[in-house]
Amino acid sequence: MGITGTLFGVYMSIGTFLFLTVVVQSLITLLSYVFRQADSTERMNHKVDVLIVGTNERLLKWVLQKWLSNSLISRIILVSPRDLQIENSKIIHVKDDNSGRANAINLGLRHVETEFCLLMDEDNYVTEDNITRMLPYFKNQNVISVSPRMVPYSSKTMLDKLIQQERRVTEEYYQPFASSHGFGTFTGKGMLRTDPARKLSFNSIYLTEDVDFSVRALRIGFNLMNSQAFAYELYPTGLRALVKQRVRWSYGWMQVARKHLFRSNSLMTFFSLFMALIYPVLAFMFPFAMVLAFLGLQGTFFTSPLSIALSSFTMLIPVVITKRVDIVPFYWFLGFVSLWAALKRPRKYIVTDKKLIA
């Protein structure tokens, strides 16, 4: 058959396998949308400390005013390398050495005194009602974290609206579904059961310390819940800031997947980590698949009616959920960002550029 034919056969086999894996993920996303569950109406009042990690002085001063007016906040533990002039007995300023978010979180957790605590960044805020929606999950003693959906304070630009819809698919449908099937993830912002979170700690060698925390917590028997409660956040300032953020997220997931893939304690965990590893490969193979289809190579899986039907299926699902056709090229864009992350291999945690709302 020759070397060229052999290589082509290998390429088509790998491509077909990866393509079908994406179809499976799309099917899971569809199931999470069809069988979505309404959040519990149960509420629980309990004062909590909020741990805020940040470096942007202007954002910190802006968000602190919001937290100080929240009646369910016992104390504010602020971890920042900045020399902030704060005169409020409710705010405990802990100065760190700016060695990364994971180390800052671990430092801040030492100062938390409440049984449960909120972990937030400098641009996040959670209302009293949404705090009361997260607390009932902790009646189950195995629950170590509850993550809310992240929503913007406002979404004015087209990019903001695309990010909002993409996050909605993940956080409103996919993650709650995954958490009920063995792979809940702490999304880096949410509520923690303080003592076990302090003991488990966050690992600074990963760019997505929250994902590593989640997998390790699952392996020792904890549950991580993803709720329909929501928290506010600011989005990246533009396309460049978004790419920087997603490169960090993508490579961080790859780091965790390489470490924990074959230590997964559930099929859902294995599948989610596996998808993190193959996204860059998919982005690399995508242009070649398009060329093959353009050349009209008949008899290959990529040009078969089944392939065309499955491709349409995978692209239609996010359109149906978000009611936006432009979400499809946005997902393709994020795929190429994951490829860039695999090539770039960033080693340093870089804070995403964000700005205050006018």
For 230, the 3-state DSSP assignment is: strand
Over residues 181-207, mean pLDDT: 94
Question: pLDDT grade, residue 302 (50/70/90)?
Answer: low
Instruction: Write out pLDDT tens, residues 109-140.
Output: 999 999 999 999 999 999 999 999 999 999 99
Task: Please state the pTM of the whole predicted model.
Answer: 0.90
What are the distances in angstroms from CA 130 to CA 60, 229, 246?
Answer: 21, 5, 27
Beta partners for 150? 231
The more confidently predicted of residues 348 and 59 is 59
- At residue 41, the pLDDT reads 81
Instruction: Report how far residue 87's alpha carbon sits from residue 210's, in angstroms, rounded to the nearest whole number.
Output: 31
Q: DSSP letter string over 272-314?
A: HHHHHHHHHHHHHHHHHHHHHHHHT-TTSGGGSHHHHHHHHHH
- At residue 353, the pLDDT reads 61
Percent of the chain at pLDDT > 70 equals: 87
Instruction: Report how far residue 148's alpha carbon sits from residue 130's, in angstroms, rounded to the nearest whole number.
Output: 8
- At residue 209, the pLDDT reads 95
Instruction: Write out pLDDT tens, residues 154-169.
Output: 888 999 999 999 999 9
Give the range among 84-88, 183-187, 226-230 with minimum mean pLDDT: 84-88
Instruction: Write out pLDDT tens, residues 202-256.
Output: 999 999 999 999 999 999 999 999 999 999 999 998 999 999 999 999 999 999 9
- The answer to whether the CB of 210 falls within 8 A of the CB of 253 is no
Residue 299 in this model has a pLDDT that exceeds 60: no
In sequence order, the 6+-apart residues with CB closer than 8 A to the CB of 225 are: 137, 143, 145, 146, 147, 179, 184
Instruction: Report how far residue 210's alpha carbon sits from residue 186's, in angstroms, rounded to the nearest whole number.
Output: 6
What domains does the chain contain, in order, with CATH numbers?
2-35+267-344 (no CATH), 48-241 (3.90.550.10)
